[in-house]
Every structure is written in structure tokens, then in C-alpha cells.
Amino acid sequence: MMNSNTNIRAIEQIGAQVLRRIAMPVERVDDPSVIDVIAAMQATLASTEGVGLAAPQIGESLRIMIVASRSTPRYPKAPTMDPTVMVNPEFNVLSNEIAKDWEGCLSIPGIRALVPRFRKISVCYLNQQGVSQTLILEDFVARVFQHEYDHLDGLVYLDRVETNRDIVSEQEFQKLITEN
């Protein structure tokens, strides 16, 4: 059995060109190179305290993401959701209600920001077997999805911040969540 640690990839950091490209759709989910990318994404995400990961973050310009909401020191109040691989995801807004909440990113360490996101969305994607799936996502998990989806379109969460005053250091963010 292959050691999953061998699949862990470096996470691309802000400034890397791959984070600013529109990712390419996956033609075949069963392609060995796609299977390898998904395995690398799973191993890489599992090695972090992140709650999601997009293929561009490991240097692969493909429309693949994983949403894996879980309570971690980075997101202590996150609900639990099994890691879900989403290939060629799309979404529709189910409610125009927008909420601002804190986000961070493995590709932008040390910074947090208040980001406006839709609270309720419908998501369609292919699973690892190539079967079409639909989910209704709300609040934190909907936020994670939209954050990862932005990576597929060459955006990072700082592009969505409304004012520079909504950006804080990780250290200040930890003080804020400890106080609340």
C-alpha cells in the first residue's frame, strides 16, 4: 500500500500564477492523472488544518475541489462534513441573503478577512466515480464551497473583501475569536 504522505504536495502561495488562472474542466474523472491529482489533494488537505482545497492550490489548473468542513484550531466552530471531492462543480444561489464572516486560506497564511458570501446555494458536481451529485449547502459549508470555487476561477478571498479594514493578521483573529 502506498504511503499517503508521499502524495502530499506543497501548497501554492499568493503570487503564484496558477492561483490566478481559470482552471480547466476535467474531461474524464477516471483518467489516471486526474485520480493522482485527487489523491494528492486528499493527502495534502488531510495534512493541514484547512476545511477545503482546490486543485490550483497544489499547482494543478483543473476544476477539482474538496470541501471538508471540520472543527480545527483554525475553524473551531465549523460543522462536520465528510471530505467531499467535487469535479467540475457549479452552483446556483438559492437565497440572495449574504453574510460576512471570517475566512483564511492555506495559500495566504497569516491573514484573515471578513468576506461576504451567499448563505444558501445549490451545488452540482461529479463525484470520484463520475456520477453527477447535487447538494444544498448553507452558511459555513456554503462559504467554504464558494471560497474553493473562487480558486477555480483564478480568484482568492481577498478579491472579495469590501474594505481593507476587514483584513486582520492571524494573531489578531485569534484574539477576536477568543473574546467572542
pLDDT digit string (tens) for the chain, length 180 residues: 344 567 999 999 999 999 999 999 999 999 999 999 999 999 999 999 999 999 999 999 999 999 999 988 888 889 999 999 999 999 999 999 999 999 999 999 999 999 999 999 999 999 999 999 999 999 999 999 999 999 999 999 999 999 999 999 999 998 888 876
Instruction: Indicate the pTM of the whole model.
Output: 0.94
How many domains, in total, are found in the chain? 1
- Domain that includes residue 64, residue range: 4-179
CA distances in angstroms from 67 to 6, 64, 87, 101, listed in the order given: 22, 10, 11, 17
Beta carbons of 112 and 170 less than 8 angstroms apart: yes
Q: Which CATH number belongs to the domain containing residue 110 in this structure?
A: 3.90.45.10
Dist. CA 87–CA 110, nearest whole Å:
29
- The residues that are catalytic are 148
Binding residues for Fe cation: 105, 147, 151
DSSP codes of every residue in 77-118:
TPPP---EEEEEEEEEEEEEEEEEEEEEETTEEEEEEEEEEE
Dist. CA 146–CA 87, nearest whole Å:
14
Dist. CA 32–CA 154, nearest whole Å:
25
